[in-house]
Chains A and B, each alone.
Chain A
Amino acid sequence: MNYLSDSLLAAVALILSFDREVQLAVWTSLYTAAVAIVIAATLGVPIGLWLGLKRFSGRRVLITLLNTLMAMPTVVIGLVLFGLFSRQGPLGELGLLFTPVAMIAGQTVLAIPIVANYVLACVNGADQRVIDTARTLGATQFQASIQLIKEIRFGVMAALIAGFGRVIGEVGVAMMLGGNIRGSTRTMTTAIALETSKGEFVFGLSLGLVLLCVALIVNLFLNMLQQR
């Protein structure tokens, strides 16, 4: 089976053909991952800052916990949130299971530990004088933290890129919480899983190449922002 070279050709054809289904899957992947990362950043960055700056008892335990959460399989996150969002679960009334919202929630949970850990490492590596300097110039603790984020913005950007990469490439959460519904919650990764189960290996692999291209474009864009 010479399907590696076939896939490459098929991928090129697929990109050039602007297939509606593929476009939708790319779009779903992109926007769920982007929204998840925005939410994960608003929660994960403060968590990383807080753990990096404050000294309190139990801090080391929390950091260890955060590191452990990075190893959490996506399927486990999917299972926990499935229990929450199912009609039998506490949030069942909202009817969110098998919608993009549920997927975004799962991906957010997946991304928060990654973002927080990267930010924590950046804060630890940052110059210890930043906060004090900002405070002597009249900044409140909050304003000083904002200044610290500006100082370590490259690291924060790296955190977001890492989180985005993890989220857009995962399949467990998207499959369990999204349900792989055509035209609604079918992402690049669940589409690949489906094509694989259909035996359409060439199509699956070419979708994988499309996903890589999309990730490449996103990273080039973020890289451009970083250069500024």
Chain B
Amino acid sequence: MVRLVSIGLTVFFMCGLFPPVAAAERLRLATTTSTEVSGLLAELLPPFEQANDCKVDVIAVGTGKALKLGESGDVDVVLVHARSQEDKFMADGYGSDRRDLMYNDFVLLGPPHDPAGALDTSDLAEAMSKIASSKVSFVSRGDESGTHVRELQLWQAAGLVPQGDWYLEAGRGMGEVIIMANERQGYTLSDRGTYLAFKDTVDLKRVVAGDERLFNPYGVIMVNPARHPHVKKDLARKFLDFLTSEEGQGLINGFKMAKEQLFYTH
């Protein structure tokens, strides 16, 4: 009897290996955490999946790792936000088709009592140098994500090299970094979407927003099938077409989080 039950269970479990949806074609998308965590993809993907009878497998990682997965051919499409790295990716021949998808912006966050006095200025570079000279904690992603890359560019633009006890390289996702900055009552740079998700749980306030240097464009790239023959190039191209079509762009513009529009199309 026990034997029967255990054999039954084994068969039952093995069946799970081959889920019923296995018939559909699968497209692999490596993307940044911001698009997945904000819930944008949950709005954007189902219409495409239904229209093309396929399933999009989303692997949400930092921009740096998403591009690495593209380089090694482990995914078919990457959706990232770090223009300089995207250009290098294309120049090195890893991608075959890159399109501007949408944009939003980064926000510089800080504690409400603003110990560094960064609220006094509307100039981003000045705010950054005030934070650095006041030695109030700044939590950096430190993980080569798109946000991290941008943060480093901002320090560079302000003519600073961030180092010292106040500069904390967390090496974690955006959400965790916002929590850390909140607990340490420090500053951090975040994408708008993740900030909106955390707005109600943390005290942090927007210090600077709307500066053109905080412009955050997202690009979508198809991995080069010439380099990786297994890339599903037809499905990937359809996906890119869908995202940049009127329907796709409409969905992006219509996506709201905490009653705020999160992503804008060009």
- Give chain A's interface residues, CB within 8 Å of chain B: 1, 27-28, 30-31, 34-35, 38, 86-88, 92, 95, 97-98, 100-101, 179-184, 194, 196-199, 201, 225, 228
Stretch at the interface among B144-152, B172-180, B242-250: B172-180
In the complex formed, the residue of B with least CB distance to A199 is B198
Stretch at the interface among B11-19, B84-92, B93-101: B11-19
How far does the Cβ of B76 sit from chain A's closest Cβ, in whole Å?
11
In the A-B complex, list the 7 residue pairs whose CB atoms are closest, starting with the nearest: A31-B16, A87-B73, A179-B59, A197-B175, A197-B173, A181-B57, A31-B13
- Give chain B's interface residues, CB within 8 Å of chain A: 2, 9-10, 13-14, 16-17, 19, 21, 28, 33, 37, 55, 57-60, 72-74, 173-176, 178-179, 197-198, 201, 228, 230
A228 contacts which chain B residues (CB < 8 A)? 2
Q: How far is the CA of A36 from the CA of B189 in the complex (A)?
A: 41
Q: How far is the CA of A97 from the CA of B73 in the complex (A)?
A: 11
Q: How far is the CA of A18 from the CA of B44 in the complex (A)?
A: 25
How far does the Cβ of B71 sit from chain A's closest Cβ, in whole Å?
8
Q: With A38-B10, A87-B228, A196-B176 known to touch, is A27 a contact of B16 (CB < 8 Å)?
A: yes
How far does the Cβ of B13 sit from chain A's closest Cβ, in whole Å?
4
Q: How far is the CA of A180 from the CA of B58 in the complex (A)?
A: 8
B201 contacts which chain A residues (CB < 8 A)? 1, 199, 201
Contact A199 B197 (CB under 8 A): yes
Contact A225 B2 (CB under 8 A): yes
Can you list 15 residue pairs at the A/B interface with Cβ under 8 Å?
Answer: A27-B16, A30-B13, A31-B17, A35-B17, A86-B74, A87-B73, A87-B228, A92-B73, A100-B16, A100-B17, A101-B17, A179-B59, A197-B175, A199-B179, A201-B201
Contact B73 A181 (CB under 8 A): no
Q: How far is the CA of A196 from the CA of B13 in the complex (A)?
A: 29
A1 contacts which chain B residues (CB < 8 A)? 201
In the complex formed, the residue of A with least CB distance to B75 is A98
B28 contacts which chain A residues (CB < 8 A)? 98
Q: How far is the CA of A97 from the CA of B59 in the complex (A)?
A: 11
Contact B59 A180 (CB under 8 A): yes
How far does the Cβ of B139 sit from chain A's closest Cβ, in whole Å?
15
Q: With A35-B13, A86-B74 known to touch, is A98 a contact of B173 (CB < 8 Å)?
A: no
A184 contacts which chain B residues (CB < 8 A)? 19, 55, 57
A196 contacts which chain B residues (CB < 8 A)? 175-176
Q: With A31-B17, A38-B10 known to touch, is A87 a contact of B175 (CB < 8 Å)?
A: no
B74 contacts which chain A residues (CB < 8 A)? 86-87, 97-98
How far does the Cβ of A75 sit from chain B's closest Cβ, in whole Å?
13
Contact A182 B33 (CB under 8 A): no
Q: How far is the CA of A139 from the CA of B83 in the complex (A)?
A: 70
Q: How far is the CA of A28 from the CA of B173 in the complex (A)?
A: 24
Q: How far is the CA of A38 from the CA of B9 in the complex (A)?
A: 11
Contact A198 B175 (CB under 8 A): yes
B173 contacts which chain A residues (CB < 8 A)? 197
How far does the Cβ of B47 sit from chain A's closest Cβ, in whole Å?
16
How far does the Cβ of B191 sit from chain A's closest Cβ, in whole Å?
13
Residue from A27, A38, A199, A201 having most chain B Cβ neighbours under 10 A: A199
Contact A199 B175 (CB under 8 A): yes
How far does the Cβ of A130 sit from chain B's closest Cβ, in whole Å?
23
A95 contacts which chain B residues (CB < 8 A)? 230
Q: Which of B2, B13, B228 contacts A34 (CB 8 A)?
A: B13
Contact B72 A88 (CB under 8 A): yes
Contact B72 A182 (CB under 8 A): no
Contact B176 A197 (CB under 8 A): yes
In the complex formed, the residue of A with least CB distance to B197 is A199
How far does the Cβ of B94 sit from chain A's closest Cβ, in whole Å?
12
Q: How far is the CA of A1 from the CA of B37 in the complex (A)?
A: 22
A225 contacts which chain B residues (CB < 8 A)? 2
Q: Which of A182, A198, A199 contacts B58 (CB 8 A)?
A: A182
Q: With A27-B16, A184-B19 known to touch, is A98 a contact of B2 (CB < 8 Å)?
A: no
In the complex formed, the residue of A with least CB distance to B33 is A197
Residue from B2, B57, B174 having most chain A Cβ neighbours under 10 A: B57
Q: How far is the CA of A30 from the CA of B10 in the complex (A)?
A: 12
A194 contacts which chain B residues (CB < 8 A)? 37, 60
How far does the Cβ of A43 sit from chain B's closest Cβ, in whole Å?
16
